[in-house]
A and B are shown apart, each in its own frame.
Chain A
Amino acid sequence: MILFSGKKGKVVFIAALTLIGIFILCSLGFASEGGGHGGADGSQRLWDLGARFLNFAILVIILFVVIKKTDVKDFFSGRRAEIGQKFEDLKKERDAAEGRFRKLEDELKAFETKKKEIIQQFEAEGVAEKKKIIAEAEERARQILEQAGLTIQREIQAAKDRLAMEMVEAAAQRAQGIIEKEITDSDQDQLVNEFIERVEKLH
């Protein structure tokens, strides 16, 4: 029992027990088979079994030696540390990603706020521009109406003047026609005499 103390001893002990167990089980199997056929070739089979067992034992020993030489425990402990480190890294990455996510979320909120502000500003500017355009249009309409009023007044005055001119022309034509028809030699004499009197007054 002292030989099998410690961690290493336990492993050797378990391996030895396993081999003995396998050997017993194999012997029982062959014994039951040999009872059925008689004892003619029983020793031959036993030898075959022993060779196989030996073969298997050598394989187990080789495996044991190889595993021992290659430090499987260190490998698995290293692997575990590596996985733990990787897990830690992934956790850090996850934390960083979460941080970035929160940052982006904050930025998105800020962007949304900014967007609302811009939209509100544009809406306010649009309303102001609309008011300005309406005011300008109203002013322009007022000017057009005023101009139209002045134009109408001018046209009316021009029409009045034109009518007056036509009336004067017609009256003058009519007067000339009457005078041409009615003027006599005595009228001419009177006109000449008046002319002479006016010339004499110029002396």
Chain B
Amino acid sequence: MHIADEFRKSMNWLHTWLGIALSGVLFAVFWMGSLSVFMYETDQWMMPEARGPAVETVSLDETVLPWLEQSDVSAEQSVFVVMPSVRKPLLRVGVFGGDNGPLNAYFDPATGKQVERTGTFGSSGFFYPFHYSLHINWQGLGYWIVGLAAMAMLTLVVSGIFIHRKIVQDFFSFRPTKALRRSTLDLHNITGLVALPFHILFPLTGITIFALVYFEGAALKPFKGEVFDYTREANGYYVIEPDGVAADPVQSVDGFIEEAEAIWTSRSGTPASADYIRIEAYGDTNSKVVIQHSGPRLQVARSQGRIVYDAASGEMEQDFQPAPIRNALSWLEGAHYMMFRPYHVRWLLFFGGLMGAAMIATGLLFWMRARIRKGLEPTSVRVVRALSVGSITGMIGASGAFLLANRLLPLDIDGDGRAYLEVLVFYSVWLLSFVHAAIRNKQAWRDQVWVIAGIAFLAPVLNWVSTGDFLTVSISQGQWAVAGTDLVILASGGLAVFAALRLKQTERVEAAKAQRRPVAGSLADAASVPAE
């Protein structure tokens, strides 16, 4: 065999088996990651109190500092403040550590008043962590599984490129009227090629972001294993310990923020605003105020800008600027986090992520149909199909059920109970989708796609009934986060209806073929698909 053919053959099996082994995880990660691109917009949909005109200037001296005094915060605790923005309209204050922590409070920046938040983790608290940890926190196992999947994805992309003899031709070949297996492969190739840069960007940057988890010992070798030395030199962090001597709590933070923003704006040439504030050693003589600027509005790169002030004297103690290679790493992180403001760029990345999910799903479907044609025994077919259906449509349906639960569950459930109930709904629906797929076998795809369509059409109605924000209302009020979420959900419903009808049509055609020719598959059709 020619060496190039032999290499292509080895890339073919690598692509197939690595893809099959991790396609379920990869689909979940890409799906949840795509949803996370607009997580703060979805949060506004899930938390009606967070809707409304965005006010980005707020006085922490008038809102947060009085609340801290009332809340008996001690010097051993760390206080953080997430500043409001167009995407995150509420001001959030958190306190962790100590006996009475963690504490959380939300303020409406327009009125300065504290807001009682809906009991939900929201998209940023559930979909987002799911995409990098799968919510498996035991020994950080979820991070490792996702890391393995990310590395596999990079390998899949490389091996996928080598497999294709006619990469340009594949780019323009989509034959939706051909046999389902053929059109599935066409769709796999197109989604793979059109969004190729994103298929490389997302896993590569994801691995980079969590490199300290995967390669902790090695990455810390230059620092002799001292993690604090690394975070200080690379990211400018340092430990602030209380002296143990009580002092008056910090009286003003607004002035520090104003000065820090002016420094960053003049340095970068684009408007820069503080988005994360920390108050360390509160009420101690060594109390410090840390002003961070991590998500620039008009830059892809995440900023590592951090200015530290002494709370008592008001003196600037640190003005950290990362070194060039760290900046390159920050660009990669920024390209993954997508916290920048231009919406159209984030839409591009959102569709890039969805194309990744579609590519993974079509790859799995193509492999499954190829196996069925090769005469896999009925029990194995049933198992493989149930796993595929549950991993793809089950995951999408469960995500929709999570949104429905958010609008249906009573608001007066105490504590985090309501939030955990939403999560319970998600996992129950996901689990049920596997059971349903095992029972319904071939019809499971169509059933579940119809369920997804139903959920998608019901969700905006429930949003309207529970909040009064009908689509026309949210558009007329300029609540684009809510209106956009409704529109995307409705569009998903339309797509699901189309898919369900197409599946029905395919089933009819296949049934007619089976009646005419009892032996499955024709030689001509088989020859049109490259051998695995």
A, B assembled together: no
